[in-house]
Chains A and B, each alone.
Chain A
Amino acid sequence: MATEFVARGADLELKGIRKEFPGFTAIEDLDLHIPAGEFFALLGPSGCGKTTTLRLVAGLDQPTKGQILIGGKDVTHTKAHERPVNTVFQSYALFPHMSVLENVAFGLKQRKIDDPMTKAQASLDLVELGHLALRRPAQLSGGQQQRVALARALVNRPSLLLLDEPLGALDLKLRRQMQIELKAIQMEVGLTFLHVTHDQEEAMDMADTVAVMNKGRIEQMGSPEKLYDRPKTVFVSKFLGQSNLFVGSVEEENASSISINVAGSKITVPKDRAEKHKGKIAVGVRPEKAFFHEEKPKLGAGHNLIGPGEIIDIRFTGVSNQYLIEIPKIGNVTVFAQNIGKSPVTELGAQVWVSWKVEHAFGLSDLPTNTGSETITESITVQ
């Protein structure tokens, strides 16, 4: 039952995992490989199946179909207590009838590892809570409880550490601080982390690789930079940051790019940044990569230009201003302008043109559900 006291992480492989609950399917044919030592984030809205995936890996639920391999070993039919995996639960799940130290030593004692109390104390020191070892969990703040939960999992040196929205209950400032600490600890101990979250910023900030999950499937997987720069589906383009999307049919094509017609305006996207090259497609651009101009600018072929439109909303967010521009027949376009004291136009109702570089555009594989030439600029609401 007891696994060795390993110092390094192991890789995780999910093969054709399917999980059905009475009445619905939580996960459909999921294949996933997480290399050893990686910080991997599973990102998605609530109900997308990410927590179910985590529970399957932990052994708290059994998959309907498929295989789970940790470090190359098939653990599909082993129980939770037999897996070299530890979890930081969303509610922390600290044992209220034990002291903080006893909580941390619990896993070591179960595996009959020598000197559990000394190791537990060292683990508490790692999360800077050594001085609170004799308290009860109820006497700690949320952030402290979170760190105890982390220490309790880490002390076992699991091959794989599972984190179930562990920062969700913390306030923004504490969450930022914990994100930095968590990342530092992961680098220090070199374990494989599987982090489940609905917070896209958190996922991008910490993870080496992010998998965006939607309706029981992984929509896209890659480094945070790649996912953000080049989303492949409408869902990913909306869930990871915001996007302006334009829908139109491909009318021009040359060796390196294609152009679509959106209500008379030509929008070009490089071929190697588009999933589809024919028919009706959606092309997007990030709001911070778009600019607006008071006068119709003279731009070369390397730019897309739409307009004129009217600024109908300005939101001040501190580091940037968010402009909502209504362009007749095309729809609303969002533009972020950095707050560096020389924004060209700041008045509501001003007439502007919107431009962006062709190389910043991306073409998606699917279409927004409410298609037409309209663009959707609101990002999907995250709870």
Chain B
Amino acid sequence: MKNFSLGKYALPVYAVLAFTYLLIPIAYTFVFSFNDYRRSNIAWRGFTFDNWTSVCEAQGVCEAFATSVSIGLISTVIATVLGTMIAIALVRYRFKFRSAVSLLLFLPMATPELVLGAGLAAQFFNVGAEMGFGTIVIAHVMFCLSFVVVTVKARVASLDPALEEAGRDLYAAPAQVFWKITFPLLLPGIMAAALLAFALSFDDFIITYFNSGPTETFPKYVYTAAAKGLPGEANVIGMSVFFLAIAIVVTVQVRSSLKAKRLAKIK
């Protein structure tokens, strides 16, 4: 017992348990995307590639996925454009109620989604709007906007105003300064904000549920389907999205580390 130390055994065990806990749902979903299911995808019935080769076979799964992707893209574009403009205004200009605006933008992030969803639904009902694709987009832009503003704002704040002044000094008109200097320098922040907005939109269930009417989004489809045992195709789509996200993260990491290495080499 001379060399016994808590760290030597307890730490690895703890780490393995923690990762198991984190990764089990993902592993389960992955494994069951290969299940040769019949009516419900709960019990293991045998290995098959069918779910992967014929993803769109289950009723409505691909339509729901396509709807979610287009809602995600549209709300991301709108929220990113609006949010970037707000972020620049908040950092660069001094105006009345500036700090109040800054604070109010945090509010939607802190408010429970249930409240936002129900409140918005009541508004749509009051004005007699028909629930569907349009109302979902409006709802998603609303809750993505704050996240975009916060993300882009950090980037704008770290941008040296002298760079834009140098642009003006070098004969660039305001619009040219924006497109040639401000925008390219903010781009990493804007991209990060857009990815975040898309992820939030694609994933959202609660607010969407209140405001979607008959429109079926992917999370809604999965929720309904889960009641009678999720079809394997949903697992396939879920896993595909997961792998796509991992691929994006890995690509970005590898690219930036390669860039750093290349810069170090030239120096």
A residues sitting closer than 8 Å to B (CB atoms) are 1-2, 58-60, 79-81, 85-87, 89-91, 93-97, 106-107, 110-111, 135-136, 138-139, 152, 156
Contacting pair A80 B165 (CB below 8 A): yes
CA distance A89 to B160 in the complex (A): 12
Residues of A contacting B184 in the complex (Cβ-Cβ under 8 angstroms): 97
- Closest approach, in angstroms, between the C-beta of A226 and any C-beta of chain B? 33
CA distance A136 to B265 in the complex (A): 13
**Which residue from chain B places its CB closest to the CB of A89 in the assembled complex?**
B162
Contacting pair B160 A91 (CB below 8 A): yes
Residues of A contacting B167 in the complex (Cβ-Cβ under 8 angstroms): 95, 106
**Which residue from chain B places its CB closest to the CB of A86 in the assembled complex?**
B169
- Closest approach, in angstroms, between the C-beta of A110 and any C-beta of chain B? 4
Contacting pair A93 B166 (CB below 8 A): yes
Interface pick from B74-82, B170-178, B199-207: B170-178
Contacting pair B169 A81 (CB below 8 A): yes
Contacting pair A59 B172 (CB below 8 A): no
Contacting pair A60 B263 (CB below 8 A): no
Q: How large is the interface on B (under 10, 10 to 19, 20 to 34, 35 or more residues)?
A: 20 to 34
Residues of A contacting B166 in the complex (Cβ-Cβ under 8 angstroms): 87, 89, 93-95
CA distance A60 to B168 in the complex (A): 8
CA distance A359 to B166 in the complex (A): 49
Contacting pair A139 B267 (CB below 8 A): yes
Q: Does residue B185 face the partner (Cβ distance < 8 Å to A)?
A: yes
Select A107's contact among B160, B162, B171, B181, beta carbons within 8 Å: B171
- Closest approach, in angstroms, between the C-beta of B41 and any C-beta of chain A? 49
Contacting pair A139 B162 (CB below 8 A): no
CA distance A37 to B180 in the complex (A): 33
**Which residue from chain B places its CB closest to the CB of A132 in the assembled complex?**
B266
Contacting pair B172 A93 (CB below 8 A): no
1/0 per residue B242-267: CB within 8 Å of A?
00000000000000000000010011
**Which residue from chain B places its CB closest to the CB of A149 in the assembled complex?**
B166
Contacting pair B162 A111 (CB below 8 A): no
Known A-B contacts A60-B169, A81-B172, A110-B171; the reply to A93 vs B160 at CB < 8 A is yes
Question: Majority SS of interface residues in chain B?
Answer: helix
Q: Does residue B241 face the partner (Cβ distance < 8 Å to A)?
A: no
Contacting pair A110 B181 (CB below 8 A): no
Question: Majority SS of interface residues in chain A?
Answer: loop
CA distance A135 to B266 in the complex (A): 8
Contacting pair B185 A85 (CB below 8 A): no
Residues of A contacting B169 in the complex (Cβ-Cβ under 8 angstroms): 58-60, 80-81, 85-87
Known A-B contacts A93-B163, A95-B181, A97-B185; the reply to A156 vs B170 at CB < 8 A is yes
- Closest approach, in angstroms, between the C-beta of B82 and any C-beta of chain A? 24
Select A96's contact among B165, B185, B266, beta carbons within 8 Å: B185
A–B complex contacts, Cβ < 8 Å, 7 sampled: A86-B169, A89-B162, A91-B162, A93-B165, A95-B163, A95-B181, A97-B185
CA distance A156 to B170 in the complex (A): 8
Considering the complex, which residues of chain B in the window 144-199 have a beta carbon less than 8 Å from any beta carbon of chain A?
160, 162-163, 165-173, 176, 180-181, 184-185
Residues of A contacting B160 in the complex (Cβ-Cβ under 8 angstroms): 91, 93
- Closest approach, in angstroms, between the C-beta of A236 and any C-beta of chain B? 30
1/0 per residue B203-222: CB within 8 Å of A?
00000000000000000000
Residues of B contacting A156 in the complex (Cβ-Cβ under 8 angstroms): 170-171
**Which residue from chain A places its CB closest to the CB of B173 in the assembled complex?**
A81
Residues of A contacting B162 in the complex (Cβ-Cβ under 8 angstroms): 89-91, 93
Residues of B contacting A93 in the complex (Cβ-Cβ under 8 angstroms): 160, 162-163, 165-166
- Closest approach, in angstroms, between the C-beta of A129 and any C-beta of chain B? 14
Contacting pair A139 B263 (CB below 8 A): yes
Contacting pair B266 A152 (CB below 8 A): no
CA distance A354 to B244 in the complex (A): 85
Known A-B contacts A135-B266, A138-B263, A139-B267; the reply to A152 vs B165 at CB < 8 A is no
- Closest approach, in angstroms, between the C-beta of A194 and any C-beta of chain B? 13
- Closest approach, in angstroms, between the C-beta of A301 and any C-beta of chain B? 58
Residue among A87, A138, A156 having the largest count of chain B Cβ atoms under 10 Å: A87
Residues of A contacting B168 in the complex (Cβ-Cβ under 8 angstroms): 59-60, 79-81
**Which residue from chain A places its CB closest to the CB of B159 in the assembled complex?**
A96
Residues of B contacting A81 in the complex (Cβ-Cβ under 8 angstroms): 168-173
Pairs A-B, 8 closest by C-beta atoms: A107-B170, A93-B166, A110-B171, A80-B168, A93-B162, A87-B169, A81-B171, A97-B184
Contacting pair A111 B165 (CB below 8 A): no
**Which residue from chain B places its CB closest to the CB of A139 in the assembled complex?**
B267
Known A-B contacts A91-B160, A97-B185; the reply to A110 vs B267 at CB < 8 A is no
- Closest approach, in angstroms, between the C-beta of B25 and any C-beta of chain A? 41
**Which residue from chain A places its CB closest to the CB of B162 in the assembled complex?**
A93
Contacting pair B266 A110 (CB below 8 A): no
Contacting pair B165 A89 (CB below 8 A): yes
Residues of B contacting A96 in the complex (Cβ-Cβ under 8 angstroms): 163, 185
Contacting pair B170 A152 (CB below 8 A): yes
Known A-B contacts A89-B165, A91-B162, A96-B185; the reply to A136 vs B263 at CB < 8 A is yes
CA distance A91 to B166 in the complex (A): 10
Residues of B contacting A106 in the complex (Cβ-Cβ under 8 angstroms): 167, 170, 172, 180
CA distance A110 to B172 in the complex (A): 6
- Closest approach, in angstroms, between the C-beta of A278 and any C-beta of chain B? 50
- Closest approach, in angstroms, between the C-beta of B156 and any C-beta of chain A? 15
CA distance A136 to B184 in the complex (A): 15
CA distance A339 to B52 in the complex (A): 90
CA distance A352 to B172 in the complex (A): 65
Select A110's contact among B165, B170, B263, beta carbons within 8 Å: B170
Select A60's contact among B165, B171, B172, beta carbons within 8 Å: B165
- Closest approach, in angstroms, between the C-beta of B158 and any C-beta of chain A? 11
Residues of B contacting A91 in the complex (Cβ-Cβ under 8 angstroms): 160, 162
CA distance A58 to B184 in the complex (A): 24
CA distance A79 to B160 in the complex (A): 20
1/0 per residue B11-47: CB within 8 Å of A?
0000000000000000000000000000000000000
CA distance A59 to B172 in the complex (A): 13
